[in-house]
Structure 1
Amino acid sequence: MSDRKASTSVLALILAMVLSVLLVTFSVAAEGEDHPLMKRYPGSEISKSFIKDFDEVVMPTGKSERKGFADSITVKGKVTGIVYQNPKKRSTLEIYQNYEQAMKAAGFEFLFTCADKECGKPGPEDPLLNYRWACFEQRHATAKLARPEGDIFVNLHVCKGTDKTFLGIVESKPMEEGLVKIDADALANEIERTGHASIYGIYFDTDKADVKPESEQALGEIARLLKERPDLKLFVVGHTDSVGSLDYNKDLSIRRARAVVDVLAGTYGISKNRLRGEGVGPLAPVMANNSDGGRAKNRRVELVKQ
């Protein structure tokens, strides 16, 4: 074997060893351990870690500014956060490039990268791992791996000032719905106590007013409430988030409310004389509309006692 071929073979072996250290198959992560997606840089020690089964995370896609990031994305799913104490005598560049190389080999798309002053001005604490974007010799990457079963987002920040690597991983997935059941007795108590009750178990496709089959449990309990209390009359009020124009959202909320009335009358035999569908669009939010979670809370149907 020639010296050139031998050198190439050794280089390939070293690269394979690096990737095997950093990148493994997907499995279940546990607190206090490396995430199965990426092993730690050799010699690093975990100083902090956490796992949340479902949460909403802001990830930077632009440089840091004093009041936040120039640009960012919000992703939801299983969140793993790990802070590593870096080994001594290893540069930020060396540690960062090992992670970067592993992510490239796995097919990640890099949404944002920066080094040192390119990362921006000292700003607020990072929203995921609570480090400040002002450390010495810092390097950052926000990356995405597209998968049919749910995209994976990585927030990587290596810092010489604290000699730490901050690794945040979000395995995006839809929130498991239908865990909170609507109960006729609880609805009755809420309406008698406050005059209204919010319903989050009635579902529509985006920009449509057709009631989806998954709404059956909630609609059945509303019908039971009305049958058990024959004197009760209700306004069925549709609410939306603020995405889109006011006129469009008001019209959509009215159509959705009247669709609910139609189903209660047609499927469950409730007299339309006891129900009136109205809509107010985004005019009565229960949360700010600047996050996915807030917008989801504002999209609802309310039962209001006439």
Structure 2
Amino acid sequence: MRPNVGPKLVCFCLLLLAAVQVGLARGLDRDLPGARDPADMGRFAESVIIGYRVEDGQSTRVPLGPWVAGRSKGEWKKSLEVAGRRTRILYLIPRTVGSREVMEYYRDALGRAGYETLYACVGEDECGTSVAHFYSDAAQGKGLTDSYLLKRAFSGDSAKDPWMLVGERRSDGAEAHLFVFGAYQDNYADSGAGERVAVFVEGVDAARSAAAPAGDVIDAQELARLTTEEGHAVLYAIGFEPERATLLPDSGAQLEAMARMLSESPDLSVYIVGHTDNQGDLDGNLDLSRRRATEVVQALILNYGIPGERLTPRGVASLAPVATNATPEGRARNRRIELVPR
């Protein structure tokens, strides 16, 4: 006998399905915490970063020709191997915007940022049949796979109206490459991410491959003078991995000088204040600056025996700049740790 399903049960099931769909889409209306746009490159208006990864000392291939189907998923007909600090970003574009409109924005943005176009294509006839397979082919090493949502971007053959742009920028011996791919796609891992244009950006900056602290070590005596006479000490010899709160090994000399100064001034308690540039989301930068300050506090406690009650971490992101954020040099000055008497 067929069971009698009452209207209340049907209504409950519909509400449950709606709740699941809302839960899946939650978080797609704001940037991933800590994510930021590439330096000197903005984003299409009202787009959102849902995938983000920065890795130093990486080698990858950028396409200089179309995607050619092979026995596996395929490969680029022509490509260039580049190495350095690699950033991968996945953007969701507003639903009302078409793929070609986004392409025109990025074409202009590359030019404004000083990139020379090495390769450009529009549609599968130019870019290659099933060109989006480069993203899901593990051998290419480009896809963001932290979650099923990110894996299913450009999934299967659902990507339509694809385009690619590849640019190169050389300045003062430094070299940077940017690969941008966009397509209308249907991400079936989450309806909130499907039936809209997505854009994958991969940037490789050879000049920023070797991460290192950006300034000279301030010794204990000078730290004591600065905190007493000027009310704070700006520390550029403490460095972190790009976009992370992991201290670089070369930061040890400055940490040791801080610990010596604090040991010689046993009555002094301080704020350890983290600062960032203004690239990316303010909330993400606030979190990053706080975590970096906390990392310094933990190093002073665990490695040098400074009592934790004398150290208070704070993060203010880009809210107290000491230079313009319009240039790479200015942004480098704004990324710092400060020591402030409490």
TM-score (norm 1): 0.45
